[in-house]
Amino acid sequence: MYWNYVLIGYVVVFGGLGLYAVSLLRRGRNLAEQVEPDRRRFLD
Reading the chain (44 residues) residue by residue, the pLDDT tens digits are 799 999 999 999 999 999 999 999 999 999 989 998 888 887 65
CA quadruple 12, 15, 18, 22: dihedral sign:
negative
Rounded CA Rg of the chain: 18
Q: What's the rounded Cα separation, in Å, for the pair 41 and 44?
A: 10
3-class SS at 43?
A: coil
Instruction: Quote the pLDDT of residue 37.
Output: 84
pTM of the model: 0.72
pLDDT at 43: 64
- At 9 the pLDDT is 97
40 closest CA partner among 6, 29, 30, 32? 32
CA distance 18 to 37: 30
